[in-house]
Amino acid sequence: MDLLEKRITSDWIEVREKLNSPVRMKAYLKLEDMKLAHLPDDLRGSTLGGVVEFKKRLAGSVFNFLTRLTYTTPNQTEILGAEADIRVLLFLLCIQTQFATGQIKPAKEAEGPLAGSNSKNRPTVEELVAEVKARVSGNPELAKNPHVKNIFMEIQLYQKEFAQFAALSPQIPDDRAPTFFMNYKKRLEGILDNVHGHFRDIQLAEDAEMRKEFQRQEEEHFVVPELVKLISAQAQELTKVRSSIFHALQEGYQIRNLLLKLVERREPVLVLLDDELKLLDTRQDPASTGHPASVKFARALAVVLEGNKKG
């Protein structure tokens, strides 16, 4: 085994061991926050192919630089600039791995207004009772729900109170009428408030279940065991390129020729990225156009990177 092969093997062992630990990977790569500062915006700007589009663009800049060496002689600053882009890609692959294994979950969406929170849009009692009865008819188990039971009990109480009010009101003297009407109005409104409160609790429980299910589905988009293998293969290919760059600089001669040989690594990297895009496409609605799963992944990564920056 020659020196280059030994270096590639050694470097890959280091990267592979840290591929599931962003903190260790960042320290190993000696990545500065300044180098990552624009990453969230760049990821969000990849609106067509998402995370794969971004990785293709960054990897493309590395291989385009290497291809140009056919006509030019690079200086050390240019070479290290390409190597720095590879470090960014490796760090991104590290965070992707944590998503794909379920260790990092996408941030929850803002929940918005609570169900039934706008009293101006409250349904009438008749509409509310009809809605509850329709739900019970569609799901008989709902009849056991304490809130449903309380709604029907409150409605019975409301009907009883209203019947008493209708029977007594003609007999009330004029001087007592205001107090009588005010007391009954207060009691009836209190009952109605209880009815609407129980109905709102039913809606809130449904909202919570719907949001929980939606979040679970969102998380499932990112937990992809097959993706872990693809990410590892991408990281291995990029590590080969990075190790070869350092080897060329260390050798100090025929640098240009050594770097030109790395152009042949372009195709394997692009194939792996295309495979990733195809895999992510299977995680989205078959009727959807474009690559929304990959775009969603890019946005989730941007949120994590912003969180790391704040921390």
Give the model's pLDDT for residue 264: 95
Residue 168 has pLDDT above 90, yes or no: no
- 291-310 average pLDDT score: 87
Residues 6+ positions from 149 with CB-CB distance below 8 Å: 143
pLDDT tens readout for residues 1-19: 588 899 999 999 999 999 9
Residue 134 CB burial class (10 angstroms; 0-12, 13-18, ≥19): exposed
User: What does DSSP assign to residue 253?
Assistant: S
Q: What integer pLDDT is reported at residue 260 of this predicted model?
A: 93
Between 276 and 136, where is the model more confident?
276
Q: Which helix (H) or strand (E) holds 135?
A: helix 125-138
Q: How far apart are the first and last CA of the chain?
A: 43
User: What per-residue confidence (pLDDT) applies to 87?
Assistant: 96
Q: Is the pLDDT of residue 27 over 90?
A: yes
Mean predicted lDDT score pLDDT of the chain: 86
pLDDT of residue 211: 56
| Proportion of the chain above pLDDT 70, given as a percent | 89
List pLDDT tens digits, range 61-87. Answer: 999 999 999 888 888 999 999 999 999
Closest CA relative to residue 20, chosen from 103, 83, 76, 77: 103
Q: Write the pLDDT tens digit of every residue in 87-99.
A: 999 999 999 999 9
Name the 3-class secondary structure at 246: helix
Pick the more confident residue, 300 or 124: 300
pTM of the model: 0.67
Q: What is the mean pLDDT of residues 209-215?
A: 51
Note the pLDDT tens digit of each residue in 230-265: 999 999 999 999 999 999 998 887 889 999 999 999
Q: Which of 53-57, 117-121, 171-175 has the highest mean pLDDT?
A: 53-57
Q: How far is CA 99 from the centre of its chain?
A: 9
Q: Which one, of 235, 220, 219, 221, lies nearest residue 50 by Cα?
A: 221
Mean pLDDT value across residues 131-138: 84
Question: Could you tell me which residue, 75 or 222, shows the higher pLDDT?
Answer: 75
Q: Give the CA count within 13 Å in the CB-facing half-sphere of 274.
A: 6
Higher model confidence: residue 47 or residue 252?
47
Higher per-residue confidence, 231 vs 286: 231
In this structure, what DSSP letter does residue 69 have?
A: T
Q: How confident is the model at residue 110 (pLDDT cuts 50, 70, 90)?
A: very low
What's the pLDDT at 114?
A: 45
